[in-house]
Structure 1
Amino acid sequence: MKVSIGPKTMALPTPTWLVGTYDADGKPNLMTAAWGGICCSKPPCLTVSLQKPRHSYAAIMERQAYTVSVPSESQAAQADYCGIVSGRDHDKFERLGWTPVRSELVDAPYVAECPLTIECKVVHVKDLGMHTLFVGEILDVKVDEAAMKEGNPDPTLIRPMIYSPSDRSYYGLGRLLGQGFSIGKEFK
């Protein structure tokens, strides 16, 4: 039997992403975000949702761009730090010893040390209430060569994290369950 817990942000999994922006002074900044995902295939688009008071909100509105750097499990503490302090008061790249890389496609930085990066230009902005939804058209995806297998990003090498809103915890990726569009064929 299921138990009702009411309307909550309990969709699982949610990502652990580092949203990269330049602030009004041109300083690179990161914020940890869990509210986001792929929202369109053609053109390829990715969303992130931020609250208006966040330092990154104004940066995205001004520059109409953001990046998403996907940290590896080994970077969990650094990713958490980026969600604890504000870029208004802290240089997160400097504190973490990370390298900000200026995107050649969008007006936003990404983290050199993260295995996967997605570069987005804002194509839609929608105020939803507490959060604003930014839809970014994906202009490029960059992957560390060491995290590739047969020409594609390999999740077992990237080792992305998920965030669980219910217990406010980070988790690693689970085991391979089977090939998509294949394992369900037994029910055809």
Structure 2
Amino acid sequence: MKKSFGPQTYLPATPVLLVGTYDKEGKPNLMTAAWGGICCSNPVCMTVSLRKATYSYSGIVERKAFTLGVPSQSQVREADYMGIVSGAKVDKFAEAGLHAIKGDFVDAPYAEEIPFVVECELVESLELGLHTMFVGKVMDVKADESVLAEDGLPDVSLIKPIVYDPMHKIYSGLGESLGKGFSVGRK
């Protein structure tokens, strides 16, 4: 028998994303978000949902762009910090010892030290209540060479992304590979 919890902001794991934006004056900012992911494969689009009260919200609206960085497990402290303090009050890049890099394809920054980054051009926003869902068309995906597999593609086991459990407010890592997609089910 299953226990009901009613409406909750809960999936067992959500990706930890570092949302990169510029403010009106061009100051780079990162914020941690766990409400985001892939939403379309053609055109390739990703989403992130933010509250209007966040400093990054206006950056996305004004610049029509954002980046999504995927920090590795070794960067959990930096990732958590980006969700604790406001970029309106501090320079989060400087405080965390990260270096802002201007996106090649969009008007948004990312942290040089983050191993996997997606550059997104804002194509849609949807007011959902407390959050606004921003849909970004993926303009580029970047990965450090250190997280590329032998086939030259990004490897999740090398990226070692952080996932977030919103019910328990815990960061975790991913486990071992369970099998190849669209294949393991055929056995």
- TM category (shorter chain) comes to over 0.9
SS of match in other structure, 1:32: strand
What code does the residue aligned with 1:88 have? A
1:20 aligns with 2:20: yes
Aligned length: 186
- CA shift at 1:12, angstroms? 2.5
1:41-76 Cα deviation digits (max 9, x unpaired): 011000000000100000100000000111000000
What code does the residue aligned with 1:170 have? Y
What code does the residue aligned with 1:86 have? S
Aligned equivalents of 1:82 and 1:180: distance in 2?
A: 33
1:180 aligns with 2:185: no
1:30 aligns with 2:30: yes
Aligned equivalents of 2:123 and 2:69: distance in 1?
A: 19
Aligned equivalents of 2:32 and 2:12: distance in 1?
A: 17
SS of match in other structure, 2:124: strand
1:17-43 Cα deviation digits (max 9, x unpaired): 100000111100000000001000011
Can you give the 5+ residue segments of structure 1 that lack an aligned partner in the other structure? Answer: none
SS of match in other structure, 1:19: strand
Aligned equivalents of 2:12 and 2:155: distance in 1?
A: 21
Give TM-score, length-normalised by structure 1.
0.98
Aligned equivalents of 2:185 and 2:118: distance in 1?
A: 30
Aligned equivalents of 2:174 and 2:23: distance in 1?
A: 32
- CA shift at 1:11, angstroms? 1.4
Aligned equivalents of 1:12 and 1:50: distance in 2?
A: 20
Q: Which residue of 2 aligns with 1:132?
A: 132
1:69 aligns with 2:83: no
1:41 aligns with 2:41: yes
1:80-119 Cα deviation digits (max 9, x unpaired): 0000000000101001111100012100000100110000
Q: Which residue of 2 aligns with 1:154?
A: 155
Can you give the 5+ residue segments of structure 2 that lack an aligned partner in the other structure? Answer: none
Aligned equivalents of 2:62 and 2:129: distance in 1?
A: 20
CA RMSD of superposed structures (Å): 0.6
Q: Which residue of 2 aligns with 1:103?
A: 103
What code does the residue aligned with 2:148 have? M
SS of match in other structure, 2:178: coil
Aligned equivalents of 1:42 and 1:111: distance in 2?
A: 27
Q: Which residue of 1 aligns with 2:142?
A: 142
Q: Which residue of 1 aligns with 2:166?
A: 165
Moved >6 Å (runs of 4+): none
